[in-house]
Amino acid sequence: MGWTSYTIGRNQKTADVLQRELTQDSAQGTRWEVIDHSMAGSTYYAIIKRTETTGATMYYGMVVLTERRASYSRDTVEFYFKDMTEDMGPHYYDMPARMLNKLDQLSPNPTGYAKTWRESCREHLARKTQKAAQRRQNKKQQLERLAALIPQYFKAA
Q: In the prediction, which pLDDT does 65 show?
A: 97
Q: In the prediction, which pLDDT does 157 show?
A: 59
What does the angle CA 121 – CA 125 – CA 130 come to, to the nearest 5 degrees?
Answer: 150
Q: Residue ranges of the domains in the chain?
A: 4-151
Q: In the prediction, which pLDDT does 53 show?
A: 93
Q: In the prediction, which pLDDT does 150 show?
A: 79
Q: In the prediction, which pLDDT does 149 show?
A: 78
For residue 46, what are the β-bridge partners? 37, 62
For the segment 2-16, what is each residue's pLDDT rounded down to a tens digit?
899 999 999 999 999
Q: In the prediction, which pLDDT does 156 show?
A: 65
**Residue 147 pLDDT greater than 90, yes or no:** no
Q: In the prediction, which pLDDT does 118 show?
A: 96
- The region of weakest confidence among 44-53, 97-106, 141-150 is 141-150
For residue 36, what are the β-bridge partners? 47
Average of pLDDT values for 132-146? 87
Q: In the prediction, which pLDDT does 1 show?
A: 64
**Residue 123 pLDDT greater than 70, yes or no:** yes
For the segment 44-91, what is each residue's pLDDT rounded down to a tens digit?
999 999 999 999 999 999 999 999 999 888 899 999 999 999 999 999
Confidence of residue 152 (pLDDT cuts 50, 70, 90): confident
Q: What is the 3-state secondary structure (H, E, C) of the chain?
A: CCCEEEEEECCCCHHHHHHHHHCEECCCCCEEEEEEEEEECCEEEEEEEEECCCCCEEEEEEEEEEEEEECCCCCEEEEEEEEEEHHHCCCCCCCCHHHHHHHHHHCCCCCHHHHHHHHHHHHHHHHHHHHHHHHHHHHHHHHHHHHHHHHHHCCCC
